[in-house]
Amino acid sequence: MSDISQNTLVLLKPDAVQRKLCGDIIQRFERKGLLLSALKLLQLTPEMAAGHYAEHKGKPFYPALIEYITSGPVVAMVLTGSNAVKIVRTMMGATNPVDALPGTIRGDYATVMSCNIIHGSDSADSAAREIAIYFTEQEIVQYHLEDCYE
Ligand code: RTP
Ligand code: MG
């Protein structure tokens, strides 16, 4: 697997904000070694939610998914690092929290698929598409760690 740095889009879903889990989840990613390149709290419009979840339009769970993701503010961030897409997906755990292992974010904090705490891009192509929904190019700050903090 390539060591080339990637960006990935993470959303802390409305239940993460309501349950005050944002700091804890961000800390997990920082401790892992991923860099925060962009961060904001926002309320998704139905249009933004439909763009984000376009691949699921028409599926039985789609209306509930849009209602859930627009039910309150979310925290959106761009995380950067080697293999960031795969690393974030591994740290998130399985989509259905019933199958998510302890130690993963969904495994530790969620019980049902309809409120599963976190979204992470599932590929580099998805990441590029999703990042553009939430952030302008100017809002993404690419930087290097000073030698003493590497
Ligand atoms: P996400 O996009 O939110 O990061 O989740 P994911 O990749 O792990 O799962 P995905 O298949 O993309 O599904 C998006 C969200 O839709 C809900 N879902 N419900 N059968 C169902 O009832 C069902 N399948 C998916 C989940 O909330 C999932 O996170
Ligand atoms: Mg997905």
Whose Cα sits closest to atom 11 in ligand 1?
95
Q: Report d(CA 132, CA 67) in Å as an integer.
A: 22
Please tell me whether residue 61 adopts helix, strand or coil conformation.
Answer: coil
pLDDT digits (tens, 9 = 90+) for 89-132: 999 999 999 999 999 999 999 999 999 999 999 999 999 999 99
Number of domains into which the chain is organized: 1
User: Which ipTM score applies to this complex?
Assistant: 0.95
The amino acid at residue 48 is M
Range of the domain at 118: 5-43+74-141
pTM recorded for the entire structure = 0.96
In a domain, 133, yes or no: yes
The CATH number of residue 130's host domain is 3.30.70.141
How much distance in Å is there from the Cα of 20 to the middle of ligand 2? Answer: 23
- For 4, residues 6+ apart whose C-beta sits below 8 A from its C-beta are 82
Nearest atom in ligand 1 to the alpha carbon of residue 115 is: 27
Any binding-site annotation on 95?
yes
The residues pairing with 77 across neighbouring beta strands, listed in sequence order, are 10, 39
